[in-house]
Amino acid sequence: MEDELFIFEKDTFIDDVSELEKQVERLFIIENSLADNRKEHREFAQTIDLDFEIIEDVYKYYRPACIINIYTFSERLIKSYVYTLLGNNNSPAVETFIEKKIPKSKFSPNVKASEIQKIINEFSPNKERFILIASLLKKEDIKKDFDYIIQSRHTYAHRGRYRNDYTREQYLDIIRFLYYLIDEVDFCLTNMEKHIELQNFITNILKLKSDILSAEKETPKIYIKKKLKEIKVEAKKAICILNSVNFDSYIFSNLLISLDLILHIDLRKNKEFIINRIEKIEF
């Protein structure tokens, strides 16, 4: 049973994030109810013969509980990647070696976004080539919020303090980022080479897009058209990979939508139209 906790099962992790999402929704239901109906909560406490301050303290602990659960989930996800990659049917000698070097009871990976990339690099065959798709797409705001949540758990564990000003939308963004991390782990375990290829296609697309948007006004349409054709070629390759992968997160689904929009830009249109369309497509 214990070993099952260290095996990556995507459906299980999806279910767990779904439960975390429900917990976050309950958090804001509780906090909004307490803010809007404080008198009613006091009356409820009286009906069950309980000091209202006790109930209020219980409510207040729900927020750090959500933070701890998000951290615990993230750590379990990354540990499952490492131990699944190392194998589940090793010889006793190999299992003894693994347990000695990275014991399951003590291995506690840093699960900030940048550190997750380092961990995947450290334990993967193509360690110097792997990049999180979210890093390529410059999802800095959501990565920053996620990292603050992870840091808040450490601060709460050691000092009893935590950041408590996250909005509902920020929490839900973090939940969406967890769905994305599940997709990343699944992708890396399933086909790291395809992941590397996708990275390269995205990098090329972003470079070509930058070339078009930074072109001088006097640049002839033939140059813009040539660059767009090159983008379309890379986009088709990226779409082919994404269509072969099962994903549940908005980062991958939005990427697919953006790539599809590129394919539908009409090369017959004038230069200004093409540039305008490319500029509006976000990655």
Q: Among residues 87, 76, 83, which one has the least CA distance to residue 178?
A: 76
Rounded to whole angstroms, how far apart are CA atoms 238 and 200? 9
- Cβ-based burial of 219 (10 A; exposed 0-12, middle 13-18, buried ≥19): middle
Question: Which residue type occupies 143?
Answer: K
Rounded to whole angstroms, how far apart are CA atoms 120 and 122? 5
4: which DSSP letter?
A: G
The predicted pLDDT at position 91 comes to 66
Residue in the structure block whose two tokens are 């590397």: 196
The predicted pLDDT at position 137 comes to 87
The predicted pLDDT at position 181 comes to 96
> 63 near 164, Cβ under 8 Å?
yes
Rounded to whole angstroms, how far apart are CA atoms 245 and 252? 10
**Distances 87 to 56, 97, 185, 253 between C-alpha atoms, Å:** 47, 12, 15, 30
State which residues of the chain have pLDDT below 70.
1-5, 88-89, 91, 126-128, 154, 157-164
Task: Please give the full DSSP string across 175-205, using - where no structure is assigned.
Answer: HHHHHHHHHHHHHHHHHHHHHHHHHHHHHHH
219: left (phi over 0), alpha (psi -120 to 50) or beta: beta
The string of pLDDT tens digits covering residues 2-26 is: 555 678 999 999 999 999 999 999 9
Residue 139 CB neighbour total at 10 angstroms: 19
Length of the chain in terms of residues written: 283
The predicted pLDDT at position 190 comes to 92
The predicted pLDDT at position 210 comes to 93
